[in-house]
A and B are shown apart, each in its own frame.
Chain A
Amino acid sequence: KAGVTQTPRYLIKTRGQQVTLSCSPISGHRSVSWYQQTPGQGLQFLFEYFSETQRNKGNFPGRFSGRQFSNSRSEMNVSTLELGDSALYLCASSLGPARGEKLFFGSGTQLSVL
C-alpha cells in the first residue's frame, strides 16, 4: 500500500507570492492533518480535515488555509508569503478522526521563501 504522498518535495518562492501544497493520503484514510516544522518553533499543528470538513485549526494567521476533496486528498494554501513561512510542511493521514489514532506522515514539502 502506498504511503502518504506530498507534492512537490521542494519549493522556492519569493515574498508576497502564494503557494499550494498537495497531499494524497493512504488509500482508505479519510482524515488528513497538516503540520509546520521549523528549527525555531518545532512541529506545530496547522489544521485537520475529515470528510471535507475542517475539524481543528491551529494558531496560524488566516493566510494559511486548506481544504479536502471528496477523495480525501488535501491541499493547503499560503498566501502573501513571508520569510518566516520557510519550513517543512508535513501532511499526516489516519483512518478517521478518533482520538488516539495513529498518524502516518508523508516526507513533507520543503518550502523556502526568498
Chain B
Amino acid sequence: AQSVTQLDSQVPVFEEAPVELRCNYSSSVSVYLFWYVQYPNQGLQLLLKYLSGSTLVKGINGFEAEFNKSQTSFHLRKPSVHISDTAEYFCAVSDWDNAGNMLTFGGGTRLMVKP
C-alpha cells in the first residue's frame, strides 16, 4: 500500500513570485507520480507525470516537478505564478504492481495567488 503527504494545505503567494508545492510519498514498490489541478467546480486536470527517465518533468502552464527517489519526493514548482493559477493541486501515485489506473491522492494544497 502507498500513501501521499502534501505538506502544506494552503500556500498563499503573490502574483509573479515563484512557488513550490511539496509532495512526499511512501510505497514498498516503485511508483508512477502525478500532479493534478482542480479549478473551482471542475474535475481534475493532469499537469504532469513521471513514469521513468529524466527526474525533471515539465508540464502544462509552466509547471515542472522533480522526482527524488532517495527523499521519496515529487515537489511541484513554477517560477512565476499568475492569478489564474489559483486552484487546488493534488499529488498522486500509482504503483507498478497494480494492473490498472488506481491512484492514491494526497490531501491537496490550495494555492492562493494574490495580486
Whether A100 lies near B51 (C-beta < 8 A) is yes
Interface residue SS majority, chain A: strand
Chain A residues near B94 (CB-CB < 8 A): 99-100
A43-B105, A100-B49, A100-B94 known; A55 vs B99 contact (CB < 8 Å): yes
The count of residues in chain B whose C-beta lies closer than 8 Å to any C-beta of chain A is 25
Chain A residues near B32 (CB-CB < 8 A): 99-100
Q: Looking at the complex, which of A63-71, A75-83, A103-111 is the stretch in contact with chain B?
A: A103-111
14 pairs from A and B in contact (CB 8 Å cutoff): A31-B101, A33-B102, A35-B105, A43-B92, A48-B101, A48-B102, A56-B100, A90-B43, A92-B44, A99-B100, A103-B46, A103-B101, A105-B45, A106-B43
Chain A residues near B90 (CB-CB < 8 A): 43
Most chain A C-beta atoms within 10 Å of own C-beta, residue among B32, B98, B103, B106: B103
A42-B105, A48-B100, A55-B100 known; A105 vs B43 contact (CB < 8 Å): yes
Chain A residues near B102 (CB-CB < 8 A): 33, 45, 48, 56, 58
The contact string, 1 if C-beta is below 8 Å from chain A, for chain B 72-107, is 000000000000000000101010101111111111
Chain A residues within 8 Å of B, Cβ to Cβ: 4, 31, 33, 35, 42-45, 48, 50, 55-56, 58, 90, 92, 94, 97-103, 105-108
Chain B positions 1-56 with a Cβ under 8 Å from a chain A Cβ: 32, 36, 41-46, 49, 51
Chain A residues near B49 (CB-CB < 8 A): 100, 102
Most chain B C-beta atoms within 10 Å of own C-beta, residue among A42, A98, A103: A103
Whether A42 lies near B106 (C-beta < 8 A) is yes
The residue on B at minimum CB distance from A98 is B101
Whether A42 lies near B104 (C-beta < 8 A) is no
Chain A residues near B46 (CB-CB < 8 A): 102-103
**Other A-B pairs beyond A45-B102, A99-B99, A99-B100, 5, CB < 8 Å:** A42-B107, A44-B105, A45-B103, A56-B100, A103-B44
Whether B103 lies near A103 (C-beta < 8 A) is yes
Chain B residues near A94 (CB-CB < 8 A): 101
